[in-house]
Amino acid sequence: MIVINTTRGTLLGDNVSVISGFKEESRGLLGRGEGSSIFFQTRWGIHTFGMRFSIDCVVLDNKSEVKSFRERLKPGRLFFWWPRYKNVLELPAGTVSITKTEVGDILDIR
């Protein structure tokens, strides 16, 4: 899957994996390489327990508008958001900064 920030004209990821199911979602990026990216749905927040590297996390509404994000989320941390939003991108650390992604930006996910 490809994710483009149409507001800024920047590429967030060109090899983003879609995951689903409780087991895959609870594992997230665990066991994947540091440069990996995933997209999934959850309303409960995420954790980085067991991770060996930091990640960026972007939370989207159903119209793919960025509602919240956390940059360089370190291993062993939690990130919660308003539970009305369920679409989540986990990206390599630094992606949000490099792409200048901000709350309110619209992402094209295909």
- Please write the tens of the pLDDT for every residue from 23-80: 776 676 666 768 889 999 998 899 999 899 999 999 999 999 999 999 999 999 999 9
pLDDT of residue 43: 85
Look up the CATH number of domain 3-109.
2.60.120.1140
Assigned token pair, 41:
């749905």
User: Are 1 and 19 contacting, i.e. CB atoms less than 8 angstroms apart?
Assistant: no
User: Which of 55, 61, 56 is closest to 41 using CA atoms?
Assistant: 61
CA distance 88 to 29: 12
pTM: 0.92
CA atoms within 13 A on the CB side of 48: 23
